[in-house]
Structure 1
């Protein structure tokens, strides 16, 4: 009788620390004890390499060896990390609640985004309950030039900084509406800067319309976008604009949550600011 072969899980990373974190992600999904050989079969890593990584995680308290000395389980430090993350993640919970309220009010999928390099990163998303919808999960990335939030982030940059970024970005054409000419994109960005909101008019995915605003920031530059996305058969530009006041109220609520999460400046920092 042959043992069924497990699908291998890639342990990727440019540094040893990144590879250890990737291994912890594999381990975190397990609901049973595991052995060195189990992980060798699952990851495809050489046994000596994996043995060394498990020793490092055990020595740091992230893993612990069970009584038979063969099996491993999650260590106290790893469990404490998970518990602290859940206990103290009130900022994410509060922002998610605002997002969920926005979805209930407008009836369409909404997301919170940030600029990461030349891409828009989805930090959080709540889907509409409507049967026809586009699935873009948290962690998804969209090129900035064909994203409503991305145009807002680009509009905040100085002309030199934006030109430098656009010159290096591949302005890939995803649909017939994608803007791939730098001058045309600059014209679009100038309009976005003037009006304070942006559209993605089927520029990334055919049939998908998006309207976005930025959450205001006391620093002046915001890296938090808030967007509504809907199929064009349910939402056109006119209906999207009708949702703009609701979207702006939600963005203001997100901004208050972000501001409240900032630590109070220390007396020393106050003195330094005062000069």
Structure 2
């Protein structure tokens, strides 16, 4: 977790605390939140109480822990329907998963990161980082690179500035210069690859879902492990992957894509 203050007054501070609680992944005690907070004890307590009263957090009196509230569940479902490609893409990615026999991911950009909005597992699932609702890095994932490659220059610069370029594996690209070269190839080729850049043993082929104006709405990938297939094998999924992206883009043509 990051010791960051919200930059938008009380609302920003409260949302930062909400993110902090959510990042723990389990019910958390006040002392745990306080130990990683920029706020004084009294301010943090007040923010937590406000979040509880608004239903964004729940407080268990017996365990004395905070957890995400049911209001967030309702909001998440509404966001999934209104701001996510997932409902539109679902029939297409289900068909892709059946055809490929491998894991299929659907992702969108979220503040310079990859947000996995849907996932269809292979018949024999592989353990990996990505799950629907999880956020991952752009610079070392196939879906992230596929979307970045088709951003206009101002948007791409903003996204690149938000990348940590942490070396997850020996294959991870670790600079903007390396990324520019990689993205140029992806623009020319139409597909991106994850060559074990985020997780050892995990590889994928990915392609963007583009609007009629060429704007990346999201990205699709077929993902597997090096124990099951090679990058050369993944190439065989290129035609059906591109077809699925085109079908999804056509179905999303009238969708009000969130900025």
Same fold (TM over 0.5): yes
Q: Alpha-carbon deviation of 1:163?
A: 3.8
Q: Distance in 2 between matches of 1:132 and 1:148?
A: 17
Q: Alpha-carbon deviation of 1:96?
A: 1.9
CA contact (8 A) 1:102 1:110 kept: yes
Instruction: Give the corresponding residue for 1:41.
Output: 62
Query: Aligned to 2:243, which of 239, 245, 249?
Result: 249
Query: Aligned to 2:187, which of 175, 190, 193?
Result: 193
**How many residues matched?**
212
Q: Distance in 1 between matches of 2:134 and 2:27?
A: 23
Give the 5 Å matches for 1:114-129. 114-129=108-123
Q: Distance in 2 between matches of 1:124 and 1:238?
A: 25
- 1:38-65 per-residue CA deviation (whole Å, 9 max, x = no partner) reads 84334547xxxxxxxxxxx9xxxxxxxx
Unaligned runs of 5+ in 2: 1-25, 34-43
Q: Distance in 1 between matches of 2:126 and 2:98?
A: 16
Q: Alpha-carbon deviation of 1:225?
A: 0.5
CA contact (8 A) 2:112 2:158 kept: no
Give the 5 Å matches for 1:117-156. 117-130=111-124, 132-134=126-128, 136-156=130-150
Q: Alpha-carbon deviation of 1:160?
A: 5.0
In structure 2, the CA distance between the partners of 1:105 and 1:17, relative to structure 1 (3 Å rule), is farther
Q: Larger RCO: Structure 1 or Structure 2 (Cα < 8 Å, ≥ 6 residues apart)? A: 2
Structure (1 or 2) with the larger CA radius of gyration: 1
Equivalent residue of 2:156, what SS? helix
Q: Distance in 2 between matches of 1:43 and 1:256?
A: 50
Q: Alpha-carbon deviation of 1:93?
A: 3.9
Unaligned runs of 5+ in 1: 1-6, 27-37, 46-56, 58-73, 264-275
Equivalent residue of 1:230, what SS? strand
Q: Alpha-carbon deviation of 1:148?
A: 1.2
Stretch deviating more after TM superposition (159-168 or 180-189): 159-168
Q: Alpha-carbon deviation of 1:258?
A: 1.6
Query: Aligned to 2:51, which of 8, 14, 19?
Result: 19
Equivalent residue of 2:200, what SS? coil
Equivalent residue of 2:252, what SS? helix
The answer to which structure has the higher helix fraction is 1
Q: Alpha-carbon deviation of 1:161?
A: 4.4
CA contact (8 A) 1:210 1:230 kept: yes
CA RMSD, 1 decimal:
3.6
- 1:95-133 per-residue CA deviation (whole Å, 9 max, x = no partner) reads 222211111100100011011122111011011121544
TM-score scaled by structure 2?
Answer: 0.68
Query: Aligned to 1:210, which of 204, 207, 230?
Result: 204
Q: Alpha-carbon deviation of 1:24?
A: 5.0
Equivalent residue of 2:205, what SS? strand
CA contact (8 A) 2:86 2:106 kept: no
